[in-house]
Amino acid sequence: MSLIKQTGGFVPRDRSWQPDALTPTYKTSIKRSPQAALLSFPTTLSEETSPVFGHNLIGELDNDLILNYAHAGESAIGPRIIVYGRVLDEMGRGVPGALVEFWQANAGGRYRHKKESYLAALDPNFGGCGRTITAEDGSYEFRTVQPGPYPWPNGMNDWRPAHIHFSLFGHGFAQRLITQMYFEGDPHIKLCPIAGALNNQKAIDALTALLDMHRTVPMDSRAFKFDIVLRGQRQTYFENRKEGL
Ligand SMILES: [Fe+2]
């Protein structure tokens, strides 16, 4: 039976499909993975209950990366896309009021960051980050340009698949989850040591947004659908799951 059709009951968390923290083909994981057994700390009341952001802080263009850093009358260069979907709990119910933040490289694969070393050009009209808040049904949407793949210093010649980073904030400080979204059909996904660390095609598929021609705007933007499932059997893989709740 589909989880969406379930209406209740306990669904135990399945951690068995989480990748190992140490995956040497992803070189940074060698230093980042724990060298000793993890210690567990109980969360404090303020971590669980304190507000983390003001819901009225969202600006008019915060969910429009084509325009939010562009000069007046100009726009970001690249394939124009809409990314949309829902944030869902394990039963398929929408999660309202979650802050969804996103950041990405420009269409050439270049980040606007002082430590960026890739020689692809910056786009003067593209900042590369935005945010929105999920609606009552858990839905979210933003407009951007499709990011390009980029090389990174890992193996001799590793390239990241085109991707958009996501952060989700719930209603407490400790409710933060981070992941990244790939694009359907990108040949770099199967070559990527980071995506490969998952070692689980279903988990990679859950991170891959599907082209949705029904939501395209003709002669304007294509659309990609990306649902984010917080936990349960259909959960999205989160990079910081081992730290977060
Ligand atoms: Fe990235």
Which range marks the domain in which residue 109 is found? 53-229
User: Under DSSP, is residue 131 helix (H, G, I), strand (E, B) or coil?
Assistant: strand
In a domain, 32, yes or no: no
Q: List the structure tokens of 39.
A: 């210690």
In a domain, 171, yes or no: yes
Catalytic residue among 110, 131, 143, 160, which? 160
In a domain, 164, yes or no: yes
Strand partners, 166: 102, 179
Cα dihedral across residues 113, 119, 124, 125: positive or negative: negative
In a domain, 13, yes or no: no
Measured in angstroms, how far is the CA atom of residue 117 from the centroid of ligand 1? 13
- Into how many domains does the chain fold? 1
**69 noted as active-site residue:** no
* pLDDT, tens digit (0-9, with 9 covering 90-100), for 118-132: 999 999 999 999 999
Integer CA distances (angstroms), 154 to 4, 24, 61, 79, 144, in order: 40, 10, 35, 28, 28
* pLDDT, tens digit (0-9, with 9 covering 90-100), for 26-54: 999 999 999 898 888 888 888 777 777 77
Measured in angstroms, how far is the CA atom of residue 112 from the centroid of ligand 1? 11
Say what the pLDDT of residue 8 is. 56
Say what the pLDDT of residue 3 is. 45
Q: List the structure tokens of 137.
A: 């049904």
- Residue 194 amino acid letter: I
In a domain, 23, yes or no: no
In a domain, 143, yes or no: yes
**160 noted as active-site residue:** yes
**150 noted as active-site residue:** yes
In a domain, 222, yes or no: yes
* pLDDT, tens digit (0-9, with 9 covering 90-100), for 144-198: 999 999 999 999 999 999 999 999 998 777 788 899 999 999 999 999 999 998 8
* pLDDT, tens digit (0-9, with 9 covering 90-100), for 92-107: 999 999 999 999 999 9
In a domain, 208, yes or no: yes
Catalytic residue among 80, 86, 131, 163, which? 163
Measured in angstroms, how far is the CA atom of residue 207 from the centroid of ligand 1? 14
Give the pTM: 0.89
Q: List the structure tokens of 101.
A: 């933040």
User: Under DSSP, is residue 157 helix (H, G, I), strand (E, B) or coil?
Assistant: coil
The CATH number of whichever domain residue 124 belongs to comes to 2.60.130.10
